[in-house]
Structure 1
Amino acid sequence: MKSTKEIKEIIKSILEGSELFLVDVSISADNSLEVYIDSLTGVNVGKCREVCKKLDAQLDRETEDFAITVASAGIGYPFKVAQQYEKNLNKEVEAKLLTGEKIQGILKSYSDEGIVLECEEKVAVEGKKKKSLVKIDKSIQFKDIKEVKDIVIF
């Protein structure tokens, strides 16, 4: 089986010129190849099948036996690439920190260094007995983040 790096290059060439982008590739010990793709507008089964056929055509089944799965990096899949942050701007996400703390909020921005979430926190307000919910922007550095996922609210 080709290396993960080689597979990524093949997939990137397949996706070139489309709205699709590569999120992740993994190859298991038994030569099962899993490819996760996405787009700013979502991915349907037909697009996954098309990418799978094109990838299969570029790999050699004569020399190795393998299985290919192409899927959408959908709801609940951790963000791996900048395009996933772009897709989820102004949407609810959850950041799990290396400390184990989870922070939920609206993804306001992202950069090479980290993300900014708009969160609600209870704070003491002068003149009131109870704490009030206040919206604040929290900057979180990528070096402190274990993973970020989108949250679906029904």
Structure 2
Amino acid sequence: MDQNKVKDLIDEALALNESLYLVDLDISTNNKIQITVDGDNGVPLSECIRISRNVENSLDREEEDFSLEVSTPDISHPLKLKRQYIKNINRILKVKTAEQEFEGTLIAANDVDIVLQWKAREPKPIGKGKVTVEKTVTLNFKDIKEAKVKIVF
């Protein structure tokens, strides 16, 4: 199966809805095509069906047999694209870098980095007891090893 041909078909389908974007495309050796798409405002089932039909109708099963799956990213999987970070502003993220882990609310994201914010209890500068302080960290995308959205019930 030609990955470039499949990618072109996906891009053609995504061009009809600017809020959607390709997260991942995987074609296994036995021609199982797995397409993962996301959207700035989520992805309705009807869009997954439309993308699937666009790809399926343009490929010839007589020429090469295949299976096709179009889905949205699993919440348990790490974020892959900068656009996914922007979509998840104001959500709690768990972010791992080579040196440490952070957990906080994503308050900003751009093409270069993200900003996390959280509250922490620290000893008072003078006297006994603790005080709650707001912490903020800016992390460059190249330093992020993994980032996942934390599910809060």
Per the normalisation by structure 1, the TM-score is 0.86
CA contact (8 A) 1:44 1:72 kept: no
List runs of 5+ in structure 1 lacking aligned partners. Answer: none
In structure 2, the partner of 1:24 is 24
CA contact (8 A) 1:95 1:102 kept: yes
In structure 1, the partner of 2:87 is 87
Paired positions, count: 152
In structure 2, the partner of 1:62 is 62
CA contact (8 A) 1:38 1:74 kept: no
Query: Kindly, what percent of the aligned residue pairs are identical?
Result: 32
> Would you say 1:46 and 2:46 are equivalent positions?
yes
Q: Deviations over 1:98-126 (max 9, x none)?
A: 34x43111111123322111123332221
In structure 2, the partner of 1:136 is 135
In structure 2, the partner of 1:2 is 2
Comparing 49-58 with 130-139, greater Cα deviation is found at 130-139
Q: How far off is 1:74 after superposition?
A: 4.1
The CA RMSD over aligned residues, in Å, is 1.9
* Equivalent-residue separation in structure 2 for 1:20 and 1:125 (angstroms): 48
User: Structure 1 residues 7 and 78, CA, compared in 2 at 3 Å: closer, same or farther?
Assistant: farther
* Equivalent-residue separation in structure 2 for 1:116 and 1:127 (angstroms): 30
Q: Secondary structure at the match of 1:153?
A: coil
* Equivalent-residue separation in structure 2 for 1:25 and 1:50 (angstroms): 16
Q: Deviations over 1:27-68 (max 9, x none)?
A: 122211111111122123332122111111122222211111
* Equivalent-residue separation in structure 2 for 1:105 and 1:145 (angstroms): 14
Q: Deviations over 1:1-41 (max 9, x none)?
A: 012x4433321211113132211111122211111111122
User: Structure 1 residues 130 and 67, CA, compared in 2 at 3 Å: closer, same or farther?
Assistant: farther
List runs of 5+ in structure 2 lacking aligned partners. Answer: none
Q: Secondary structure at the match of 1:93?
A: strand
User: Structure 1 residues 133 and 9, CA, compared in 2 at 3 Å: closer, same or farther?
Assistant: farther
Q: Which stretches of structure 1, 4 residues or longer, exceed 6 Å deviation after superposition?
A: none
